[in-house]
Every structure is written in C-alpha cells, then in structure tokens.
Amino acid sequence: MTPPPSAPYHYEARAWKTGVTRLAGIDEAGRGPLAGPVVAAAVVIGPDRRIRGLADSKLLTPEQREVLFHVISERAIAVGVGIVDHETIDRVNILQATRLAMAEALARLTVAPDLVITDFVALRDLACPQRNLVDGDARCASVAAASIIAKVTRDRLMLEADRSFPEYGFARHKGYATPEHLAALDRWGPCPLHRRTFAGVWRQGELFVLEKDD
C-alpha cells in the first residue's frame, strides 16, 4: 500500500529560523460521531527530533497510526491530550466542546508553546500567537502528529465502549453514523454514551420511544 503524502515541516522550519522552538500543533478527533467523546491533542516537535511519515490520520491505516503514535510519544518534546465527554458536548455544542478539549490538551503540555497551529479552529485566550490552517493536518507536520495522537486515543476509548455496549458495533465504526450504527439505534435506542443533541441520535431515539409506546 502506497503511504499518503507526508505533511511538510514548512511552518515549523519558518518558526525555528526565527527562534520559535516550541511550536504546538493541535487537532481533534470525534467531532462528527453520534456517540463518545471528542478528543484533542497538542504536540511539540523539536527541530532536531523530526518524525518521518506524519500525515493526516484519516489517510493512514490503523496499523500505521499505532506505529506513529508510539514514535510521536517517544520523540516529541511534549504531548498533551484533552478529552471532553458526550454530556458536555450536548450541553455546550460540539464546537465549544472541541475548543475545551484543545485547551485541556495545551494545558497538559509539559512546555509552554510559543506558537500554536490548529486545523482551522480558532482558540480564545491563548498566551501566544496562533495560526489556523485549512487542512492543517495535511499541511503541517505538527498538526498531523496531533491528529494521529487524538485519533488513536479516541479509537481506543471507543474500543472500550464496545465492550460495554457491544450491540452498537463501536469497535467497527467508532460512533460514526454508518448504516450499521443507525440500524442499531433503530433497534436498541440510544445508549448512555450517545450524544442526545445530534440529529442521528434523537431522531432514532424518538422512533424507538414511539414504537415502544404503540
């Protein structure tokens, strides 16, 4: 299988040349699913510790992501992860929950970044400048690294959810609105991990309640 194009270090190289050595790439996983948390990661890569093969996590196989997850964890200057649960997502909406997860990921870094680059999510109240890139996980290696950490972390959480709620198939679709998942919602209704404010859940849930009442 041909690997996807690697995300370049263009933005990092420019920052490093100006003396900015602590650039944090930030990305999330789990904005679209009907169940489970949203997970964000922040990764700081040093100029002398570049990691090869970083790419948008969606373009990598699960096996490639796992390998890179371990490499990033070992070689990066710092890695931070933020997790916001489904109940908070329902309370504040998915965009605000994503920002909360990103803020938590930054707070968990062991070094304070001098510059933050996100995958086109503007963050508030940062103590340093930020740049928000369209397709940041394909255009910036640090953001690609964050996307891999976030994706692998969330997938592991959904594998755990599958053990608690096997009838929904979370291990296979990770909570996304696949035909299998929607069929399970039709049959079983929402489980405690579903996001009640997401249309695919409440429509299925309303149908489930009506059928039980008939």
| Residue of 46, 66, 40 whose CA lies nearest to 137 | 40
Question: Would you list the domain boundaries of the chain?
Answer: 10-161, 168-213
**Is residue 30 left, alpha or beta, with left meaning phi > 0 and alpha meaning psi from -120 to 50?**
left
**CATH code reported for the domain at 10-161:** 3.30.420.10
Residue 54's φ and ψ, nearest 5 degrees, are: -70, 135
Judged against a pLDDT cut of 50, whether residue 213 lies above it is answered with no
Residue 134 makes CB contacts below 8 A (sequence gap 6+) with 120
Predicted pLDDT of residue 1: 63
Report how far Cα 10 is from the mean position of its chain's Cα atoms.
Answer: 23
**Each residue's pLDDT tens digit, 12-51:** 999 999 999 999 999 999 999 999 999 999 999 999 999 9
What is the average pLDDT value for the chain, to the nearest integer? 93
**pLDDT tens, position by position, 101-157:** 999 999 999 999 999 999 999 999 999 999 999 999 999 999 999 999 999 999 999
- Cβ-contact 47, 12 below 8 angstroms: yes
Predicted local distance difference test score (pLDDT) of residue 125: 93
Question: Which pLDDT value is given to residue 191?
Answer: 96
CA distance 52 to 5: 11
Q: Which amino acid is at 46?
A: G
User: What pTM was computed for the model?
Assistant: 0.93
Sign of the CA dihedral running 42, 160, 30, 97 = negative
| Euclidean distance between CA atoms 212 and 214, whole angstroms | 6
The 10s digit of each residue's pLDDT in 163-207 is 999 999 999 999 999 999 999 999 999 999 999 999 889 754 454
